[in-house]
Each structure stands twice: as structure tokens, then as C-alpha cells.
Chains A and B, each alone.
Chain A
Amino acid sequence: MKRRSLLQRFAAAPHIAWSVLFIVIPLLFIIYYTFTDAAGGFTLENLATIASPEYLMIFLRSVMFSILATVICLLIGYPLAYRIASMKPRTQRIVIVLVMLPMWLNFLIRTYCLKILLNDQGIINTFLGNFGIEPLKLLNTSGAVIFAMVYNYLPYMILPIYTVISKMDQNLLTAAADLGCNRFQTMTKVVLPLSFSGIMSGVTMVFVPSISTFYISDAMGGRTFSLIGDTIERQFKEADNYNVGSALSLVLMILIIISMSIMNKYSDDDGGVVV
């Protein structure tokens, strides 16, 4: 290889300086606040606080909610992505635009519209009322929170899976059929393994925002129960307890790093197919 020009040698310098200043140092601040008290002395008090049953319950609930939302997104999104990938190329393009369009609507407005749909006097309950059905309590339930997570993050599941399936070599499917696979076997032995990398990136893209969301649980859960996201938010914006808030953020970050590295381990197995 030829010698690098000056441009190539120093082009990354501004970015590296920027990253150290605004990515690395801020993270060090979180660690600093986690291990200090309000006066600035070293303490493990904050970690002890969030190890209490109350906070552990919040963590457990958040993990369960986001796993549920991710699984539902996968179950709804995979067949949809598969169906879209088997459409005519021209139709595919339009349908993918339609999948992406609701994502352009502001996230807060999207969630607020859902709230209107599910409200006691909302459209669904008015509709049911026409048949003499008593208004259902839809809002402020854990179901509403999970529904909002699924609704908001479903496109993140559909898009990567669709990308992988649409790039798949169609000859492989024909070959599988020629070699005696029935449709079900082709699906489980060829299509699913080949789309694994898409599934994995979809799962990550749904799981991470679901576990850390604070607006959804606020709006759809009506503060009847807390998730990690809104607990952290309250520590910073209401309780002014930066130390406990930082400790919670640090634990959330570590939780995500662990689950991501587990997922990466599995998705690396299929080698070259990754986008």
C-alpha cells in the first residue's frame, strides 16, 4: 500500500477529539456520580439503594416488558417482512415507504394518538359502546404500555428482516424444494437461518429503546407503575438525585451491553451473510 497522504492521516482527528470530549468524558461523569455522594465523597450508598427490592422490581418489570414487546414485534414483523419481500419490486418499494412513513410522525404525537384511541371515551370504546359493551379499561394498563412499545418500534423490526430476505438468493429456495424440502422445511432450514442476522439487528433495535423508554410508560401507564426509563428521568428532573440516577443509568447500560454481546455472539456464527 502506498503512503497515506496528509489528508488521510489526519482526517479522523476532529472526530476523535469530539468523541473523547462528548462521548467518553460524559460516560466517565456517570461513573463518577455513581460512586460519590452529594458532597462529592466516595460511597457505595447509591448502588446499595438501587439494590433494594423496590428498584429490583422496576428492573425486572422493564426487562419483562421489553422482552415481551420484542417477541411480539418479531412474531408480527417477520411474516410481514417475508410477505413484503415476495411482492413485485415496484410494489415492494411503495410498501416499504408505507412502513417507514409512521416513523416520520413525531414519536410523542404517535403515542398521544394511541392514547386517544384507547381512552375511556376514545374511538374503540365508543365503537364497543354502540353494541352495548361497557367501556373497557384499556389505558393505564401494562397491556397499553406493551402495545405502545410494539406499535412504535415495529418498523425497526420489519426493515432489517425485509432487507435480508429481499437480498436472499431465490435459487436457494428452488434448490431446497428440488432436494425434497416441503414448504415448512424450506422455511425452517433455509429462510430462517439465512435471515438470522436481520432478526438479530431487529431484536436489538426494538429491545434497546423499549427497555429505556420513559415517555411510553408515562403516557400509557399513567404512572401506576414505573419502568427504568421513567425512574431515571424522575431522579434527574424531579428528585434532583443525580447520584442514584447515575447509578441506575450505569446499571441499565451494563445490562444492555451484556445482552448485546450475548446476541452478537450468536449472530456472528453465520459468517458472511451479514449485511
Chain B
Amino acid sequence: MKKAANIYTILCFLILYAPVAVMILFSFNSTDSIFSFSGFSMQWYESILSGGEAVDTLINSLVLAALSAVISTVVGTAAAIGIFHMKRKWIKNATMQVTNIPMMNPDIVTGISMMLLFITVGTLINANILGFWTILIAHITFSLPYVILSVMPKLRQLDPNLTEAALDLGCTPMQAFLKVELPAIIPGIISGMIMAFTLSLDDFVISYFTTGATFKTFPTYIYSLVKKPFKPNIYALSSIMTIAVLVLLIISNIISARGENSGKPAKAKKSRSLRKGKEGKR
């Protein structure tokens, strides 16, 4: 039984990784064919070093992802705090419903709806505004709910008495926020920011509809190549990215594993029981 389960697991991973293996294999191809492998060569990795559109668009994507991650994290964290402290239930619910729309809606609808807005504004001011700014706005918009949803649980876990205590001990509300609340919710903020960054880097559909000819991201560049056969330098670039991500994931896993082992177990237990109590009430 256990053996069968293991064979099944291995089989699943073989299929999951077959395309990745194809990509890495063909990134070393000595010709520019992406269907038949003719020999080992490093030429596609060398061609990356000399730049070109693939590298430029990747840099575009990284800049865009960084900007949209920072902005959506700032706005989203503030929003999470504001929504958490809202007193009227219906306002709170309505805000959350609207916030969740980009998550529920298929990407293509989100992309098209924003494109319609941008095109209308563009005709009003008589200019084609599709480009860097519109794509940045779109990326911030679809990242916001993910940031809010990763900060919100941390706010719920926070003991309100701690803030009260800080205020009683003479902190201004701003100081209480910076010294008590912010350190407690920072893990949620960071994970929201990472999520916003990766979502933006990976997004194709929404970018495709909200960008113009003036600004290309890496995914939209790849799409423009699909019609013509593309060269293995894209594979080389993606292989490098995949390896980089693997290393990052392993490092972050090691760090979080260490944090769990050295952290105080009593504290962790307390916060968990606190959360359970809250959920019971709901």
C-alpha cells in the first residue's frame, strides 16, 4: 500500500517536472531548434549576457513588480488596519466584498474592464494612455486583496490589550502603532508583499489587456514571440529564474524552520488558542 502510494507520488512529480526538464535541456541546445536536440552548447546563456529584448523586458517586469508590490503593500496594509477597525458591520462587509472582486473574477474580465476604462479616459483626453502607468495601476489593483488578506489574520491574532497598555503607558496612537502593532503584523505584511511581487511578475492576462506598444513585460514579450518560433535564449533565461527561485525558496524554508525551532513554544500555543476562541465566537 505504502509502496503504491510512493510510486504514485513519484509518477506525479515526473509529469509535473517533464516540461521543466524539456526547458532546461533545450536551453543547452547547440542549434536554435526547440523541437530537436542536436548537441550541448552554452551559447544561449552567453547571449543573455550580451542583453537584448528578452533581458530588457525581464528588467521591465522586475521594476514593475517591485513598484507594484511596494505600493500595494503600503495601501493594502493601511486598508487592512482601517477595515479591521471599522465599526459598522455593513460597511466592513461591503468593503471586503469589493476588495475580493479581483480575486474572484477571472483575470480576463478584470483585464478587459480596466482596458475599457483606460481607453475611455484616453479618448477623453485624446491620447493613448495604455503603457507603463496603466499596467502599474492594474497590477496594484489585483495585488491589493492578497496583501489585505495576508495582513488581516495577523491583526486578528493581535491582543488589543497590548495597544491599550501602550497607550496607558504614555504612547501616542502613532507610537503605539509603530512599536506594538506593526512588529506584530510584520510577517503578514512581508508575505503579502512577496505574494504581490510574484503575482505581478507572473501575470500575463491582465498585462496583455492593459499595456500598449510602449511597454512590454517579460510575459507579454514571450507571447509576442509565440506566433513566430522563439529561440532557446528564453529557455536559458527561464532556467536561470527557476534555479534562482528554487534557491530562494530553500533559503526561506530553512529560515522559517529555524524560527519555528528556536521560537518560544508557549507563545505560539497561546496565539493559536486565542485564534480558536475568536473563531468559536463567529
Binding site for B on A (CB under 8 A): 1-2, 4-16, 18-20, 22-27, 29-30, 33, 76, 79-80, 83-84, 90, 93-94, 97-110, 112-114, 116-117, 119, 121-123, 151, 154, 208-209, 211-212, 214-215, 219, 229, 232-233, 236, 242, 245-246, 249, 252-253, 256-257, 260, 272
Contact = CB atoms under 8 A, between A and B. Distances in A.
A14 B78 contact: yes
A82 to B, nearest CB: 9
24 contacts: A1-B160, A4-B87, A7-B177, A8-B173, A18-B144, A19-B98, A22-B117, A23-B141, A29-B116, A29-B117, A97-B249, A97-B250, A104-B198, A104-B241, A106-B218, A108-B222, A117-B19, A151-B15, A211-B106, A214-B205, A232-B108, A249-B108, A252-B109, A256-B105
B164 A2 contact: yes
B242 A83 contact: no
Contacts of B173: 5-8
B115 interface: yes
Contact of A110 (B19, B105, B218, B230): B19
A93 B255 CA distance: 12
Given A117-B18, A121-B35, A253-B106, A245 B112 contact: yes
Interface string B165-206: 001000001100100000000000000000000100010110
B35 A122 contact: yes
Contacts of A24: 98
B204 A208 contact: no
Contacts of B38: none
A112 B226 contact: yes
Nearest to B36: A121
Interface string B99-115: 10110111111101111
Interface residues of B, number: 83
B127 interface: no
B209 A249 contact: no
A215 B204 contact: yes
Contact of A76 (B12, B104, B113): B12
B9 A83 contact: yes
A108 B219 contact: yes
Q: Output the residue of A107, A114, A260 with the most chain B CB within 10 A.
A: A107
A117 B9 contact: no
B144 A93 contact: no
Contact of A15 (B35, B75, B202, B234): B75
Interface of B: 5-6, 8-9, 12-13, 15-20, 22-23, 26, 34-36, 75-76, 78-79, 81-83, 85-87, 95, 98-99, 101-102, 104-110, 112-117, 120, 137-138, 140-141, 144, 148, 160, 164, 167, 173-174, 177, 198, 202, 204-205, 209, 218-219, 222-223, 226, 230, 234-235, 238, 241-242, 245-246, 249-250, 253, 257, 279-280
A214 B116 contact: no
B22 A123 contact: yes
Contacts of B160: 1
Contact of B109 (A25, A84, A212): A212
B54 to A, nearest CB: 12
B249 to A, nearest CB: 5
Given A29-B120, A107-B202, A246 B112 contact: yes
Nearest to A257: B104
B35 A236 contact: no
A107 B280 CA distance: 40
Contact of A93 (B174, B234, B257): B257
A15 B22 contact: no
Contacts of A257: 104
A84 B9 contact: yes
Contacts of B34: 116
Given A109-B222, A113-B23, A233 B108 contact: yes
- Tell me which of B15, B109, B110, B117 has the highest count of chain A C-beta atoms within 10 A of its own C-beta: B109
Given A11-B81, A19-B144, A113-B18, 20 more contacts: A8-B81, A9-B82, A12-B83, A29-B117, A80-B8, A104-B245, A105-B19, A106-B204, A106-B222, A108-B226, A112-B226, A116-B34, A121-B35, A151-B19, A154-B16, A252-B106, A256-B105, A256-B106, A260-B104, A272-B280
A42 to B, nearest CB: 17
A120 B196 CA distance: 39
B242 A219 contact: no
A266 to B, nearest CB: 17
Given A109-B238, A116-B22, A117-B18, A22 B141 contact: yes
Contacts of A79: 5, 8
Contacts of B234: 109
Contacts of A116: 19, 22, 26, 34-35
Contacts of B219: 106-108
B263 to A, nearest CB: 15
